[in-house]
Structure 1
Amino acid sequence: MNTIEIVRTMADFGFDAKDEAGHVIKMDTSDDSGGKNYGARPMQTLLMGLGGCSGIDVVSIMKKQRQELTHFKMIIKGQREADKIPALWEKIHIIFELGGNNLDESKAKQAITLSIDKYCSVAETLRRAGAAITWELRM
């Protein structure tokens, strides 16, 4: 079982989340909810987790395809449910920006599809919570 430790370290709502290896993510609430801009909001860290999970998948798959990436960037945009508490992620769109020497676009699309639809546990978790995840590739 994985263990995460959460400690309040800043004002009312500033928290440090630490994993078993000692990696820390700082979290806070929004300014209008009393936050102090200490860290990312918890719901945004879900989108960050999606990016990390899918990014690892895509790079790994493309390495196996013998595709040499020299540029990798993801832009993730999310829309939450309106007028609901809790407000879950409803729509998530990911833009993959990939560059490299002689990249095969069909292989890049295959890698992204495999990640989003099959391998990325964060994507599946968000999908099961009702989020629609779409993506596009820019090369």
Structure 2
Amino acid sequence: MIKIELNRVEGDFGFEATDANGHVAKIDTSAETGGTNFGIRPMQMVLMGLGGCSGIDIVMILKKQRQTVESFAIKIEGEREKGKEPSLWEDIKLVFELKGQIDYDKAYRACELSMEKYCSVAATLRAGNTKINWEVRVN
């Protein structure tokens, strides 16, 4: 079982979330809704989780294929539903940018496996009808 502890530590909406290993994430809402920009917005954390989940998958797959990943970045953009509560992620686009001695077809397949099979965050978002598009750039 995964355990997270959340404590309010800054103003009305500034929280620190701590996992069982002591890692801390700061969470807040926008200044327009009463926050103080103390931390990341919760829905932004979902996009970060998607990037982290898929990034780990992709690097693992490429390492098994003996590809040399010298650098790896993911650019993520998301659009939320308009005029709904809760306002879910409607569309998300990821651009995987890899550099190194990497075969493009292997990189593409690693990204495809992550996004369609292995990444639990992507699967969770798709279950809520989020459209996820992605592209791969190598070198």
TM range (shorter): over 0.9
Q: Which amino acid aligns with 1:52?
A: G
List, as ranges, runs of 4+ consecutive aligned residues in structure 1 with deviation greater than 4 Å. none
Q: For the residues of structure 1 that align with 2:31 and 2:96, how far apart are their CA atoms?
A: 30
TM-score with structure 2 setting the length:
0.98
CA displacement at 1:94 relative to structure 2? 0.2
Name the structure 2 match of 1:129: 128
Name the structure 1 match of 2:70: 70
Are 1:12 and 2:5 matched, yes or no?
Answer: no
Q: Which amino acid aligns with 1:63?
A: K
Q: Which amino acid aligns with 1:128?
A: A
TM-score with structure 1 setting the length:
0.98
Task: Say which SS state the counterpart of residue 106 (structure 2) adopts.
Answer: helix
Name the structure 2 match of 1:109: 108
Q: For the residues of structure 2 that align with 1:51 and 1:32, how far apart are their CA atoms?
A: 27
CA displacement at 1:71 relative to structure 2? 1.1
**Partner deviation per Cα, 1:22-53 (whole Å, 9 max, x = no partner):** 11100000110011000000000000000110
Q: What is the RMSD of the two structures over their aligned residues, measured on CA atoms?
A: 0.5
CA displacement at 1:130 relative to structure 2? 1.1
Task: Say which SS state the counterpart of residue 123 (structure 1) adopts.
Answer: helix
How many residues were matched structurally? Answer: 138
Q: Which amino acid aligns with 1:131?
A: T
Unaligned runs of 5+ in 2: none
Q: For the residues of structure 2 that align with 1:11 and 1:106, how far apart are their CA atoms?
A: 49
Task: Say which SS state the counterpart of residue 72 (structure 2) adopts.
Answer: strand
Name the structure 1 match of 2:55: 55
Mapping 1:27-66, distance limit 5 Å: 27-66=27-66
CA displacement at 1:138 relative to structure 2? 1.4
Task: Say which SS state the counterpart of residue 97 (structure 1) adopts.
Answer: strand
Are 1:80 and 2:80 matched, yes or no?
Answer: yes
